[in-house]
Amino acid sequence: DVGRPALRASNMAHTRLAVALALAPVLARGSTSDTGVSSMDGTPILDFADVSDQYTAMLMCLVPLLLAGIISLVFVCFLTKTLMSKKTGVDIGVPKLDYLAAKVKSGSIAFLREEYKYLAVYVAVWAVVVLVLFTIVPIVEGKSDDGVRAAACMITG
């Protein structure tokens, strides 16, 4: 049916518009200028000078990032569920589509394996450089494990 993709696109556009309209008041209330002050009365949104506890300041920085990550993962799960619920290939009467999808999948996997081989060597070389550099010149004077920690963080990242 020719009209169905257009109908789906229209529904998606309506959903995006509804989300944008729902978020508009929240975004307008919390908007900031280039100086980091509230647009309402000129007071700072977050004033780190008033925070004396280092743990609280760290939480003020990490919680928004953690929330953004969690929201992103929930969104990815939603998109995956939506995508996997769609009919493909034999289900829609086009069995050749399954054959072509399998070819694309095998090619993608081969490409990623080859790419990760090169990436692993690249990261390993730079991890050794970081290890040696920060062992010789530590980040904090008197700390002998800075090189190991920096290399481990680089490999993990």
Residue 108: pLDDT over 50: yes
Q: In this structure, is the dihedral angle defined by the CA atoms of residues 115, 121, 122 and 123, taken in order, positive or negative?
A: positive
Answer positive or negative: Cα dihedral of 115, 150, 148, 133.
Answer: positive
Q: H or E stretch including 114?
A: helix 95-136
Q: What pTM did the predictor assign?
A: 0.47
DSSP bridge partners of 37? 44
The one-letter code for the residue type at 13 is A
Please check the confidence at residue 72 and state whether its pLDDT lies above 70. yes
Residue type, 84: M
Please tell me the least confidently modeled range out of 5-14, 76-85, 91-100, 118-127.
5-14
Q: Residue 91 has what pLDDT?
A: 86
